[in-house]
Amino acid sequence: MSLIAVRDVSVSYGSAPVLQNISFEVERGDYIGIAGPNGSGKSTLIKTLLGLLTPVNGSVELFGEPLEHFNTWGRIGYLPQRLEGTRHAFPATVEEIVTTGLLAGKTFPKRLDSTDRRAVETILGQLEIIPLRKHFIGKLSGGQLQRVLLARALVHKPDVLILDEPTVALDPATRDTFYEILREMNKTRAVTILLVTHDTPTIGEFATKLIYLDRQLIFFGTFGEFCESANMTEYFGAQAQHVICHRHPGE
């Protein structure tokens, strides 16, 4: 059973089509980079998978259930685009922000137990942010904040982690560290990852598969398959193709 199955999905904003006839399946343990030009529908696809947008046709299944009937959202972690300008408005500590990742799945009254507190302690340790636990999030660097938001998305141990351009405001060194954290999560904890990125020359170093969108599905498969595809050579040109596939040092 695929964890996510997208079949002939089209999405529109009003009368304007954004995605047309998109189909792919995500298997357990996949690490998929989702790339494409601005306005290609990357974030729209993510919002559709999360049930925030309704397709005009086609279907989405999560863990074998139709999206409209899916009710076990604790199996999915979500890291949205970082909102740098708003974080200072929240006088919350790192520990409090990470804890909200557990409270969302609880019924009223929402209380933490000893198991929850151990889970918070574990994820803070794994992402090396225990020394920051009492710091207010408005005082954090960009890289530190992204680790905190990743901890919040992972603390309930989801099967799938969905990230929407999480490195857009990070410097190159912090970005590479963040990518390494995700790759380790994918390898050691078998967390399935879908990561929207504008950084096509870099994602091929970390992800194992690529979805390339331009309102339609241009490509879905491994980076090796992308590298060897004559259709992708025709679409991108050989130089751009091999920059994206990240299989040729010096390109």
pLDDT given at position 230: 95
**Measured distance CA(67)–CA(60) in Å, rounded:** 6
pLDDT at 202 over 90: no
As beta bridge partners, residue 211 has 34, 220
Higher-confidence position of 244 and 5? 5
pTM of the model: 0.88
Supply the pLDDT for residue 63.
Answer: 96
Mean pLDDT (whole number) for 98-108: 76
Burial class (CB in 10 A: 0-12, 13-18, 19+), 45: buried
> Taking the CB of residue 170, how many other CB atoms lie within 10 A of it?
20
Q: Which CATH architecture has domain 29-43+73-245?
A: 3-Layer(aba) Sandwich (3.40)
Distance between CA 240 and CA 206 in Å, rounded? 18
State whether residue 117 is helix, strand or coil: helix
| Sheet-wide strand order for 57-62 | 16-26, 4-13, 57-62, 65-66
Q: What is the per-residue pLDDT for 143?
A: 84
